[in-house]
Chain A
Amino acid sequence: MADLNINFAGIKSPNPFWLASAPPTNMGPMIERAFDAGWGGAVWKTLGEPITNVSSRLASLDQGALRMIGLNNIELITDRPLEVNLKEVYECKKKYPKHAVIVSLMVESKREAWQEIVKKSQDTGCDGFELNFGCPHGMSERGMGAAMGQVPEYTCMVTEWVKEVSNLPVIVKLTPNVTHIVPPGHAAQKGGADAVSLINTINSVMGVDIDTMIPYPNVNGMAAHGGYCGTAVKPIALNMVSELARDPEFNIPISGIGGINNWRDAVEFLLLGAGNVQVCTAVMHYGYRIVEDMIDGLNNYLDEKGFASVNHIIGKSVERVTDWGNLDLNYDVKAQVNNEHCIRCNLCYIACEDGAHQSFRFHEVDGKRYPYVLDEECVGCNLCALVCPSPGAITMKRVDAGGPSESWRDRTSGK
């Protein structure tokens, strides 16, 4: 059994799986239930001035019969009184001293307001703070959430205010609703943040009811844009995590968030530089119980790969991410159809014919018609292998001689 304990920016937890600040961390009884299920930590639903929510507030992106591959919400921060939440944080931490309890905060952009809530919260025994500079809906219209995170100067300033009074680690939660994630990351670091977490949710309109013509989620005939999360956002999150992880100027820990459903997703985040992961949508879909396989699967993976601790895989893939201009132009792969695995659905053929480089043809083998690839036409794009439903039917085979590599940078720098 590998060691799953982590120390994230000074916050210890028995495993790297935390619940993100969201409905699953609404209150003490829920978080205690989550810890019983195996979660290593939880970031409390954002505390601040209690708000009034609307009904309804969630909407889902379905793919065919698959439910909720994306979720959007227009829920705001906690609607419970601060004192009630703080009391529960205290009780929870007392009952679960080895688990990480992080308090998420969001108040109006005033030094006194931030410092007051930090002071009130840190006596609860919580392990750290997460500053919510990320929510893209509702709160941002009041100058909070993403309105902070989208302006690096504000991010830095508020982080500094918090750090002036906090005696606990401070994580700054970043919004993905920016053109480039690195400047906000730098701003948080400059403000003294101990870590960042990302991504928060993405601006989204989930869809429109084509019968009533009212977009989702319908609030008495009207809708507003919401925050998008779930499986569908994972690639965006991975990009932003890796952008910060590979930035030489950025050197504080990253808590990875966005579309994590299982241990595999978590491993990908860890490999790209996250020091732990936070999960929300998958729990909202299936409940806290999913953490059991996350722990079990991660353990088996680490054992199989020979890693004694989960910490040993953090950032392992970061150096494998580079700019396009550094990629080897001489590397060459071509698709190859393996008839013994081919089920003759011809999806490779039509995908290439209409969506790539028209490099497929048909031929007859043992009385059956199989697709095959014209090497001279194939550019090695992967599309056929991606659409192929039968494992092993298409392999991308390396065909270059393995000679010296040459990147676009090499070529244009005259080397």
Chain B
Amino acid sequence: MAEQFCTPLNLDQIERNFAEINPAMSSPEALVEANRCLYCYDAPCMHACPTHIDVPGFIKKIASGNLIGSARVIFDANPIGATCARVCPVEVLCEGACVEKTLLQKPIEIGRLQRYATDHALTSDKQIFTKGESNGKSVGIVGSGPAGLSCASYLARLGYDVTVYEQKEKAGGLDTYGMAEYKMPQSVSLSEVERIAAMGVKFVLNTRVGSESHTPSEIAAEVAPAIQNPKSKIQNGIGSPPSEGGVDAVSADGVVLSSAAGQTVSFSDLDSWHDAIFLGVGLGETNRLGIPGEDSDGVYDALAFIEKIKTREWKSVPLGKTVAVIGAGNTAIDAVTQAKRLGAEKVVMVYRRTEKDASAYAYEMELARKDGVEFAWQAAPVGILAGENGSRLSLRCERTDGSLELFDIPCDMIIKAVGQQKMRGFFESVAGVSIDEKGRVVVNENLQTSNPKIFSGGDCANGGAEAVDAAQMGKLAARGIHFSLSGENVAFAGIIYPKIFSGGDCANGGAEAVDAAQMGKLAARGIHFSLSGENVAFAGII
């Protein structure tokens, strides 16, 4: 293998390149901006937010100098509100709907105001939400990404003993490992995790959930009692003395379990330990291109590349002088911009279709353009070859404009950003829940899967969307779990009930009459709940 190329830039330059693209607001700036908000009633921004944060409400609290109150409004509807303040595509969500955009072409900077309020809360001593009085019930959450964190937070508020299982060494999922560094450093996500841990939520890190029939006894011996007895505090490491790394989210009241090396707990044990389980496992490996040379040295996965950057160990991040990034989604943008910011001389975005087919947001595409990224549209990769004339690799592409012409892009590194696989295997053989033809976990409006004890949300259930969408699904799942275990329907902030309901073949894609009958019944319950707030239990609703 050739010597590993890495960033040629000095530390100062790199730090400048990776400084947060939307800087914090100063307090005078926040005050002016907050006062510019019209305080719309039944505001369009609130509707546009997937978690339906009361945006005018939190902004007016900034204006009045009530920053903790402002952060409470945000976290009440979105437990990862500090992360979302930085990574949400606000241009197409809240700020895109702002009436000031209609009136003045200048929407209120909702994202940065949200950051202002949540930063204040996360750096203050005030713990906004705390664990509710224990109700003696326990929920296991698999995956500590936005969906899992959100679900854990709401369940803790309701008094559940919540244990989150995370296979990585830090909690937060894509919030921690998958956000472009210039949008958000890891510390933001970790401080949100910390606040959720401080609500009594236990995080079992470095721990995979698998199909093994038994959890290794030494792990079970440590995990199970901790779960059954929430008062017991087990710090850092199962069966090993406290060590340094591994625990990034311990707070005074939180318990974080972290095995030194990867461990596996069995799903069936999880099932026996908990009254309900939430699956927020996200998506799996990056899709394969299925072209020759795909496994060559110098071919990387975009998520792995981004994750490596998150360590901020700049010199250890693999880089090429010339980098070809395959794909044109938002992850591809994160890869091209960061490769450029690390000092790659030339970065080419390669996409088999046209620019207008690219799934990246327009403002993201604009950012890539500003960073000096080049584009190869209508170029379908067909093979990865050894490079010539000093280049390590050569990405052979075929024109999809009808010419079928072949051409080579010389490069030193290829990054694949072509979407992620669904974790079909996990759902089918580990968790045993139904998935649809696209590999998504099938859930009802309570986010309940085909197994009534198991709930799911986030990318694994919606196929892949924004962190804010996952946060909302975590919230809806918490409501669903609580309803399922207690029969009580809670109204968390930002649960807006739909006006239009659907069921039967048009909603399930075509099934038996009996399935349609059940959907009709569920819809009737949904409509009644939406209009009256009352939840009725018709026969056969589990």
Binding site for B on A (CB under 8 A): 64-66, 343-347, 349-350, 389-390
A-side contacts of B40, CB under 8 Å: 344-347
5 further contact pairs, Cβ within 8 A, besides A65-B36, A390-B103: A345-B38, A345-B40, A347-B41, A389-B38, A389-B103
Instruction: Flag if B41 contacts A64 (CB, 8 Å).
Output: no
Taking the closest CB of chain A, its distance from the CB of B61, in whole angstroms, is: 13
The residue of chain B having its C-beta at the shortest distance from the C-beta of A393 within the complex is B103
Question: What CA separation (Å) do A390 and B101 show in the bound complex?
Answer: 12
Query: Using a CB-CB cutoff of 8 Å, which residues 19-45 of chain B contact chain A?
Result: 28, 31-32, 34-36, 38-44
Instruction: Flag if A344 contacts B41 (CB, 8 Å).
Output: no
Instruction: Flag if A347 contacts B39 (CB, 8 Å).
Output: yes
A-side contacts of B42, CB under 8 Å: 346, 349-350
Q: What are 27 A-to-B residue pairs whose CB atoms are below 8 Å?
A: A64-B31, A64-B34, A64-B35, A64-B63, A65-B28, A65-B31, A343-B99, A343-B102, A343-B103, A344-B40, A344-B44, A344-B99, A344-B102, A345-B41, A345-B43, A345-B99, A346-B40, A346-B42, A346-B43, A347-B39, A347-B40, A349-B42, A350-B41, A350-B42, A389-B38, A389-B103, A390-B103
Binding site for A on B (CB under 8 A): 28, 31-32, 34-36, 38-44, 63, 99, 102-103
B-side contacts of A347, CB under 8 Å: 38-41
Instruction: Flag if A65 contacts B41 (CB, 8 Å).
Output: no
The residue of chain A having its C-beta at the shortest distance from the C-beta of B60 within the complex is A64
Question: What CA separation (Å) do A66 and B36 show in the bound complex?
Answer: 11
Among A65, A344, A347, A389: residue with most chain B CB under 10 A? A65
Taking the closest CB of chain B, its distance from the CB of A90, in whole angstroms, is: 46
B-side contacts of A66, CB under 8 Å: 35
Instruction: Flag if A65 contacts B38 (CB, 8 Å).
Output: no
Question: What CA separation (Å) do A350 and B39 show in the bound complex?
Answer: 11
Chain B interface secondary structure, helix, strand, loop or mixed?
helix
The residue of chain B having its C-beta at the shortest distance from the C-beta of A353 within the complex is B41
With A64-B31, A65-B35 in contact, do A346 and B63 touch (Cβ < 8 Å)? no
Question: What CA separation (Å) do A64 and B31 show in the bound complex?
Answer: 7
Question: What CA separation (Å) do A65 and B44 show in the bound complex?
Answer: 24
Taking the closest CB of chain A, its distance from the CB of B68, in whole angstroms, is: 15
The residue of chain A having its C-beta at the shortest distance from the C-beta of B28 within the complex is A65
Question: What CA separation (Å) do A349 and B99 show in the bound complex?
Answer: 15
A-side contacts of B41, CB under 8 Å: 345-347, 349-350
Question: What CA separation (Å) do A343 and B36 show in the bound complex?
Answer: 15
B-side contacts of A349, CB under 8 Å: 41-42
Question: What CA separation (Å) do A390 and B38 show in the bound complex?
Answer: 11
B-side contacts of A389, CB under 8 Å: 38, 99, 103
Among B34, B36, B63, B103: residue with most chain A CB under 10 A? B103
Question: What CA separation (Å) do A39 and B56 show in the bound complex?
Answer: 44
A-side contacts of B28, CB under 8 Å: 65
The residue of chain B having its C-beta at the shortest distance from the C-beta of A348 within the complex is B41
**Pairs A-B, 7 closest by C-beta atoms:** A64-B35, A350-B41, A345-B40, A346-B41, A343-B99, A343-B102, A65-B32
The residue of chain B having its C-beta at the shortest distance from the C-beta of A66 within the complex is B35
Taking the closest CB of chain A, its distance from the CB of B44, in whole angstroms, is: 6
Question: What CA separation (Å) do A346 and B42 show in the bound complex?
Answer: 7
Question: What CA separation (Å) do A347 and B31 show in the bound complex?
Answer: 21
Taking the closest CB of chain A, its distance from the CB of B344, in whole angstroms, is: 43
B-side contacts of A343, CB under 8 Å: 99, 102-103
Question: What CA separation (Å) do A350 and B43 show in the bound complex?
Answer: 11
Question: What CA separation (Å) do A64 and B33 show in the bound complex?
Answer: 10
A-side contacts of B44, CB under 8 Å: 344
Question: What CA separation (Å) do A345 and B40 show in the bound complex?
Answer: 5
Among A65, A344, A345, A349: residue with most chain B CB under 10 A? A345
Among B32, B35, B40: residue with most chain A CB under 10 A? B40
A-side contacts of B34, CB under 8 Å: 64
Question: What CA separation (Å) do A295 and B35 show in the bound complex?
Answer: 32
B-side contacts of A390, CB under 8 Å: 102-103
Question: What CA separation (Å) do A350 and B32 show in the bound complex?
Answer: 24
Taking the closest CB of chain A, its distance from the CB of B492, in whole angstroms, is: 24
Taking the closest CB of chain B, its distance from the CB of A143, in whole angstroms, is: 42
B-side contacts of A345, CB under 8 Å: 38, 40-41, 43, 99
Question: What CA separation (Å) do A350 and B42 show in the bound complex?
Answer: 9
Question: What CA separation (Å) do A347 and B99 show in the bound complex?
Answer: 11
The residue of chain A having its C-beta at the shortest distance from the C-beta of B64 within the complex is A64
Question: What CA separation (Å) do A389 and B36 show in the bound complex?
Answer: 11
Among B31, B36, B42: residue with most chain A CB under 10 A? B42
Question: What CA separation (Å) do A64 and B32 show in the bound complex?
Answer: 7
A-side contacts of B103, CB under 8 Å: 343, 389-390
Taking the closest CB of chain A, its distance from the CB of B40, in whole angstroms, is: 4
Taking the closest CB of chain A, its distance from the CB of B102, in whole angstroms, is: 4
Taking the closest CB of chain B, its distance from the CB of A171, in whole angstroms, is: 40
Question: What CA separation (Å) do A64 and B36 show in the bound complex?
Answer: 9
The residue of chain B having its C-beta at the shortest distance from the C-beta of A391 within the complex is B103
Taking the closest CB of chain B, its distance from the CB of A341, in whole angstroms, is: 9
The residue of chain A having its C-beta at the shortest distance from the C-beta of B101 within the complex is A343
Taking the closest CB of chain B, its distance from the CB of A212, in whole angstroms, is: 15
Question: What CA separation (Å) do A343 and B99 show in the bound complex?
Answer: 6
Taking the closest CB of chain A, its distance from the CB of B88, in whole angstroms, is: 22
A-side contacts of B99, CB under 8 Å: 343-345, 389
Taking the closest CB of chain B, its distance from the CB of A340, in whole angstroms, is: 11
The residue of chain B having its C-beta at the shortest distance from the C-beta of A346 within the complex is B41
The residue of chain A having its C-beta at the shortest distance from the C-beta of B63 within the complex is A64
Taking the closest CB of chain B, its distance from the CB of A31, in whole angstroms, is: 34
Question: What CA separation (Å) do A98 and B39 show in the bound complex?
Answer: 51
Question: What CA separation (Å) do A64 and B37 show in the bound complex?
Answer: 11
Taking the closest CB of chain B, its distance from the CB of A125, in whole angstroms, is: 48
Taking the closest CB of chain B, its distance from the CB of A361, in whole angstroms, is: 13
B-side contacts of A350, CB under 8 Å: 41-42
Question: What CA separation (Å) do A347 and B63 show in the bound complex?
Answer: 18
The residue of chain B having its C-beta at the shortest distance from the C-beta of A210 within the complex is B65
Taking the closest CB of chain A, its distance from the CB of B147, in whole angstroms, is: 31
Taking the closest CB of chain A, its distance from the CB of B5, in whole angstroms, is: 50
Taking the closest CB of chain A, its distance from the CB of B341, in whole angstroms, is: 35
Taking the closest CB of chain B, its distance from the CB of A160, in whole angstroms, is: 51
